[in-house]
Amino acid sequence: MKTPYQESIRMSTELQDNNELIIGYIYRSPSSEKANNSNLRKIMEEAIPLNKSHIVIMGDFNYSQIDWRHGSTSGDTVSEEFQLVEKLRDIYLHQHAGNPIRDRGTNQPGLLDLILTNEEGIVDNIDHLLSLGKSLVSFIFKCYVGR
């Protein structure tokens, strides 16, 4: 993937039967600039034509205005949130993490940590572990390795 994006790590690994897994971790700051948000959508789009059998993109996306259970946002069609939801629909990435977290002070709990894949049934046992001021998401990725 050639698009630059601040705060990301991307790698791939070979699996059996000539399959390959792309794993990406993203951190998007809540104060991320418009150009960086655009690049975020571009790197996700770049992963699809690489024809890898398995894609997992996870991380802290910090889009608190998106209702991930319904795949919707209250923003208009030019909002960053709407554009991200539409991009994920366009490239058929599934969002797996489903429990709102980070309910600090008067803030509503929000789902900020996401697990995106190109397959619906590939992630299981998602657990949100909270500690003081931080969150951690653990999950089982149902995959296999090469011999």
Tell me the pLDDT tens digit for each residue of 40-87.
Answer: 999 888 888 777 788 888 888 888 888 887 888 888 899 999 999 999
Integer Cα distance of 51 and 74 in angstroms: 33
CATH class name, domain 8-141: alpha beta
Say whether pLDDT at 23 is over 70: yes
What are the structure tokens assigned to 79, written together? 């909002």
Distance in angstroms between the alpha carbons of the first and the last residue of the chain: 27
pTM of the model: 0.79
What average pLDDT does this structure show over 28-40? 92
- SS3 of 61, please? coil
Integer Cα distance of 23 and 107 in angstroms: 31
Q: How confident is the model at residue 15 (pLDDT cuts 50, 70, 90)?
A: confident
Integer Cα distance of 3 and 136 in angstroms: 27
* Range picked from 21-35, 53-67, 98-112, 121-135 for highest mean pLDDT: 21-35
Say whether pLDDT at 111 is over 70: no
What average pLDDT does this structure show over 15-27? 87
Residue among 35, 100, 92 nearest 63 (CA): 100
Identify which has the larger pLDDT, 66 or 136. 66
What are the structure tokens assigned to 41, written together? 């959508």
